[in-house]
């Protein structure tokens, strides 16, 4: 994204031109930004035998998944739907991990039928897996009793968490695996989302490495995702090179010790693989939601700028009180006046300038009817969490690169919503 003469350009095209061509509201993604983030991560993890799996819950647009496949990523999938999407995008089954939570048996069977490794998150499921599929490869999700994240809703480790098998239950895991001759090829954890300080990630990593010592057949250890991105204008970016180095060094010394010292090189090449599975980091900053100002209401307390989208299309502010930078696409650098950006849904919580407690005025260039608003950092958990609430179709999605735009998903239609046909 770039501001040229006060005008916002995404992938070299002005926001106005994009909306003229593809209509509003519209999700726009910059391919170069996705590739840049992927490149940074690959460089940051210096341990050679590594795999970065894209946690595609952040964005399941097939074209975006294909970009990440082209960057050498694998996939962390959490549902049969995500497995389906990953296979459709061309990922090989052995690059996909199915991370389960409270799934019905049919879902695990679906993964197995597609040759996708299951990552089980309870002892009972592990037992059931053993009964039905003895002697198979399997992975388990561990709760390291450490959690972190930008909001309670997204902390997925620790005593309050519904995820994973507590690391203290390692003996039970081993007993079940032994009984059914399961090969525990991987162990996994994911402690939460939107982490901007490396400490918690490293702390959890140490717990998982301790746990890993109990397993002889491991071919990978997956430390999950969770790497945050700055949402606020002045927020500090995580130093990805430092984090990558910390992760790699810790992992290398573990792999060395496990491999009996001098064998570290062969272990790096053929042995234990370091896996991480970021979602947000790879795609959040590439995405923008463009919307048109439909109505202005200058009330005593707030100036409401009403736009043609709502929390049906970007739920993060309403759901977590999340902050998304907002830009005026044609007066991007004008001085700000206090305004509230409000959606078009029939709920008063449908505002984009808010925190968890409600509306927060924001200093933004003066908006008028017909102007285009840009909600930034919408590439992760934007469209993938969108709904057709209030029977408003989901927006179209466009991928931009070097001045050209490609429609990567059509706007949803009423027919699709109500009859399931096009
Ligand atoms: N792996 C697993 C098993 C996960 O559950 C998640 C995210 C990730 C990886 C990727 O986490 P990331 O790198 O994107 O932080 N809707 C929330 C985020 C929920 C994340 C859920 N799990 C939001 O909009 O902030």
For residue 101, what pLDDT is reported?
A: 96
CA dist 205 and 226 (Å) reads: 13
CA dist 134 and 177 (Å) reads: 9
For residue 271, what pLDDT is reported?
A: 87
Radius of gyration of the CA atoms of the chain, in A: 23
CA of 135 to the centre of ligand 1 (A): 31
Q: At what angle do helices 240-258 and 198-212 cross, to 10 degrees?
A: 10
For residue 270, what pLDDT is reported?
A: 61
CA of 274 to the centre of ligand 1 (A): 19
CA of 244 to the centre of ligand 1 (A): 19
Residues of the chain under the 50 pLDDT cut: 260-269
Our mutation pick for probing the ligand 1 site, out of 38, 52, 57, 323, counting the most ligand atoms within 8 A of Cβ, is: 57
CA of 163 to the centre of ligand 1 (A): 13
CA dist 307 and 290 (Å) reads: 10
Ligand 1 atom 3: residue of nearest CA? 190
CA angle 15, 17, 18 (to 5 degrees): 65
Domains of the chain: 2-28+284-419 (2.40.37.10), 31-283 (3.20.20.10)
Closest CA to 119 of 134, 102, 141: 141
- Phi, psi (deg, nearest 5) at residue 182: -80, 145
Residue 279, C-beta contacts closer than 8 angstroms, at least 6 positions apart: 54, 55, 56, 57, 58, 59, 76, 193, 225, 380, 381
CA angle 162, 163, 165 (to 5 degrees): 110
Q: Which numbered atom of ligand 1 lies nearest the CA of 78?
A: 3
For residue 422, what pLDDT is reported?
A: 76
DSSP per residue, 205-238: HHHHHHHHTT-SS-SEEE----B----STTPPPP
The number of CA neighbours under 13 Å toward the Cβ of 337 is: 10
The two structure tokens encoding residue 302: 């707030």
Q: How many CB atoms lie within 10 A of CB 185?
A: 16
For residue 269, what pLDDT is reported?
A: 47
**Binding-site residues, ligand 1, Cβ < 6 A:** 55, 57-58, 76, 99, 154, 156, 190, 193-194, 224-227, 277-281, 316, 380-381
- Do the beta carbons of residue 391 and residue 412 sit within 8 Å? no
Local structure of 289: helix, strand or coil: strand
Q: Which numbered atom of ligand 1 lies nearest the CA of 151?
A: 25
391: left (phi over 0), alpha (psi -120 to 50) or beta: left
Residue 199, C-beta contacts closer than 8 angstroms, at least 6 positions apart: none
Closest CA to 156 of 99, 82, 212: 99
CA dist 330 and 220 (Å) reads: 49
For residue 268, what pLDDT is reported?
A: 45
Q: Spell out where 265-350 has E strands.
A: 273-276, 287-298, 303-307, 326-328, 337-342
Q: Which residue has the tokens 């309050």?
A: 160
- Do the beta carbons of residue 390 and residue 10 sit within 8 Å? no
For residue 266, what pLDDT is reported?
A: 40
For residue 50, what pLDDT is reported?
A: 97
Catalytic residue status for 135? no
Tell me which of 135, 346, 374, 376 is the catalytic residue: 346
pLDDT in tens, 31-71: 999 999 999 999 999 999 999 999 999 999 999 999 999 99
């Amino acid at each position: 994204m770039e501001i040229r003469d006060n005008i916002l350009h995404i992938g070299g095209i002005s926001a106005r031109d994009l909306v003229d061509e593809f209509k509003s509201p519209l999700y726009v993604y910059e391919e170069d930004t996705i590739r840049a983030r992927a490149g940074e991560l690959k460089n940051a993890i210096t341990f050679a035998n590594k795999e970065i799996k894209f946690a595609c819950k952040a964005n399941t647009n097939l074209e975006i998944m294909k970009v990440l496949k082209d960057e050498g990523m694998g996939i962390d999938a959490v549902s049969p739907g995500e497995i389906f999407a990953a296979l459709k995008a061309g990922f090989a089954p052995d690059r996909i991990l199915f991370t389960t939570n409270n799934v019905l048996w049919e879902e695990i069977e679906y993964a197995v039928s597609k040759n996708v490794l299951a990552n089980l998150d309870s002892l009972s499921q592990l037992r059931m897996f053993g009964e039905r599929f003895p002697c198979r490869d399997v992975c388990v999700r561990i709760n390291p009793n450490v959690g972190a994240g930008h909001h309670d809703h997204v902390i997925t480790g620790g005593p309050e968490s519904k995820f994973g098998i507590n690391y203290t239950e390692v003996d039970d895991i081993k007993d079940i695996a032994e009984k059914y001759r399961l090969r525990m090829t991987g162990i996994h954890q994911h402690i939460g989302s939107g982490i901007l300080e490396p400490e918690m990630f490293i702390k959890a990593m140490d717990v998982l490495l301790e746990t890993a010592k109990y397993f002889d057949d491991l071919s990978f250890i997956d430390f999950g995702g969770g790497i945050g991105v700055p949402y606020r204008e002045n927020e500090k970016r995580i130093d990805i090179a430092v984090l990558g180095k910390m992760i790699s060094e810790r992992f290398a010394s573990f792999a060395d010790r496990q491999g009996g010292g001098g064998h570290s090189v062969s272990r790096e090449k053929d042995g234990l693989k370091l896996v991480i599975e970021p979602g947000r980091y790879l795609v959040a900053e590439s995405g923008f939601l463009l919307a048109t100002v439909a109505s202005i209401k200058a009330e005593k307390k707030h100036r409401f700028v009403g736009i043609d989208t709502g929390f049906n299309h970007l739920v993060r502010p309403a759901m977590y009180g999340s902050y998304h930078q907002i830009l005026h696409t044609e007066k991007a650098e004008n001085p700000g006046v206090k305004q509230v950006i409000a959606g078009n849904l029939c709920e008063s919580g449908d505002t984009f300038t808010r925190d968890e407690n409600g509306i927060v005025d924001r200093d933004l260039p003066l908006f008028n009817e017909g102007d285009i608003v840009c909600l930034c950092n919408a590439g992760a958990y934007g469209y993938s969490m969108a709904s057709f609430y209030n029977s408003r179709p989901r927006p179209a999605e466009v991928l931009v690169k070097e001045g050209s735009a490609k429609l990567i998903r059509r706007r949803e239609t009423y027919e699709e919503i109500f009859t399931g046909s096009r």
